[in-house]
Amino acid sequence: MSSYTNNTNNTNNNTNQNTGNSNNTISTTQNACNQRRINMLFNIPPVRLEKVSPYPDYTSQQLNMRRKVEILKHNKNSTKGRKLTAKETYALINRGNFRGNRLSCPEDSNIPLPTSRSGVPGPIMNLVEDKSVPLYNYITNTLSSAEEITEPKYEWLVYLLSNITCPESLLNVTRIASLMIKESISNSFTTYTYTTPVVYYLTGRNIPIDTSGVLVTAELNNLTSKIFYGDNLILNDYTFLSVNQPTFTISLQPNPSITESTYDYHAKIYAGYMTFSNVYLSTNPGFVYNIGLTYNASKLVDYSNVNIASDESTTIINNSTFSLVANIQDNYVIEGPTNCKLLNAPIMKSTTTFFNALNNSIGTISKSYDNTNIINLDVSVLYGENKYGSGNKYYIGNVFSPEITFQVGYTYKFIQSNSSNTGHPLRFSTTPNGSHNNGFEYLSGVFASGEAGEFGSYISIEITENTPSPLYYYCVNHSGMGSGRLPDPEPEPEPEPEPEPEPEPESEFIKYPPFSGPPVFIEPEPEPESEPEPEPEPEPEV
């Protein structure tokens, strides 16, 4: 088997802390100020006691009087005599010097009694029980100590940098967590164990196209912890660092549809846990430690089954980059491999981080850097059909161009790592189809990273109460790829039927013309003459 190995330390400019110069330390005064600033920044305030003062309604004398009367109503156990025996009780009954029926006075609380009746020393004053006055500062339960603990007292707190990328380099340190010692710490020195889930990320650019079948293996070397007190490195560090899976192997398999002479590949894999053991620290109250990580990765190229030149294997190594991602959370997306195949056995993903003390010290992990309200949406471009018709469409959640109802308080992350997104950058608008429908791009709370189609590229939008609704997504370069649809064109109005001609009004008998002029008198028609009744014929004579 032929192979080529490169084990060099790459210098990365994206560094958190530099330890190359051991003389570069911060003064004691400045370091103390930084420690105090961090303690104030991450301080957890105690439970606030909200006491409601009754003084606006009652005077101090009334409250004191009410409290004194309540105290004097009860007998102290220390001054209470013994109980009578059965013989003494029987003798008391036979003497008959007692009242058989008890008298009850329900309003006896209003009867003033002098303090001398209760054996109160000092000037004599009258006490009256006014039940309308509340009992103020009257403690009924007995405290067993001077201080009563009502909340857990953590001796240390841990703050994680979630989904933090740690590039390979021995010269640079990436801080991944901070440990803050609280005032209630009981040990001067404490040993901790820190276990965090990690992801390996291997990427290559401008790889020769004839490298299909080449095996690329990245192996972690010189994995070392760097612990800082403030900004000064702790020299006596006995921490041991280990990982479940020290190697990451892939097989290069460029897409056959690539027509160019080079290609890019990307691969991520969940690698289990990385453990910081035997973290032995001085734990004085107020101390803050920054936990960092440094390592380098050697790359091995196996081309025994591929006939390529050695200079191409050198190109593969020089153009490949390895990174480790620590403190993985549920919102971290592990994309599928691009132009390569994973050869490592899969490990069940877990996002639980552990930080424990070996000296019975109580603490907790505070994930203050997390943003768990992130919804990840994988985006690809496929030929399909949506409300705009057929063609290339955004394919999200196994649906072509789904309608997404954005919820206030969440951040929506549209991941465009798939190479099918090349040339199809996704954007947002309050108008369906965005700029293709005379709309404008919506920019408030929007963040874009990388070019669409590149590994790791995405666009996110934070939804607040001021975000307009509804909101649509669209492709900058092509119409009809996103959500929503253009409104249907309004149908042309049907021509109204011509109105039927109104019948001409009958001529009215006008006595007066509408305009000026002499009045016109219309003579009435003469009544027809009645015909004369015929005379009766004379009766014939007999």
**What domains appear along the chain, each with residue ranges and CATH number?**
59-69+109-138 (no CATH), 154-366 (no CATH), 374-475 (2.60.40)
Angle, CA 421 vertex, CA 271 and CA 442 arms, to 5°: 105
C-alpha to C-alpha distance for 105 and 97, rounded to whole angstroms: 22
Question: Cβ neighbours of residue 434 under 8 Å, at least 6 residues apart?
Answer: 427, 428, 440, 441, 472, 474, 476, 482
Q: What is the pLDDT of residue 18?
A: 39
C-alpha to C-alpha distance for 167 and 423, rounded to whole angstroms: 29
C-alpha to C-alpha distance for 201 and 181, rounded to whole angstroms: 33
Q: What is the pLDDT of residue 70?
A: 82
C-alpha to C-alpha distance for 218 and 323, rounded to whole angstroms: 10
Per-residue pLDDT of the chain (542 residues; tens, 9 = 90+): 444 445 444 433 333 433 333 344 556 777 777 777 766 666 666 656 666 667 778 888 888 888 888 887 765 554 555 677 888 888 877 876 666 566 666 677 777 888 787 777 788 888 888 888 888 877 666 555 555 555 567 888 888 888 888 888 887 788 888 888 887 788 889 999 999 999 999 999 889 888 888 999 999 999 999 998 877 888 778 889 999 999 999 999 998 888 888 999 999 999 999 999 999 998 888 888 989 999 999 999 888 877 765 667 788 888 899 999 998 888 788 888 989 999 988 888 888 888 888 877 788 877 544 445 677 788 889 988 888 889 999 998 778 888 888 888 888 889 887 778 889 999 999 999 999 999 999 999 898 888 888 766 889 898 988 899 889 999 999 999 998 754 444 555 666 666 666 655 554 444 434 444 444 444 555 565 655 566 666 665 54
Q: What is the pLDDT of residue 100?
A: 59
Helix (H, G, I), strand (E, B) or coil at 178: strand
Question: What tokens appear for 88 in the block?
Answer: 């003494």
Q: What is the pLDDT of residue 8?
A: 42
Bridging pattern class, strands 156-160 and 363-366: parallel
Q: What is the pLDDT of residue 306?
A: 77
Q: How far is CA 204 from each of CA 7, 267, 454, 513, rounded to the nearest angstrom?
A: 16, 9, 12, 105
Q: What is the pLDDT of residue 10?
A: 41
The length of the chain, given as a count of residues: 542
| Maximum distance among all Cα pairs of the chain, rounded to whole angstroms | 181
pTM of the complete model: 0.53
Q: What is the pLDDT of residue 128?
A: 82
C-alpha to C-alpha distance for 166 and 289, rounded to whole angstroms: 18
CB 245 within 8 A of CB 346: no
Q: How far is CA 197 from each of CA 163, 239, 244, 496, rounded to the nearest angstrom?
A: 10, 18, 10, 74
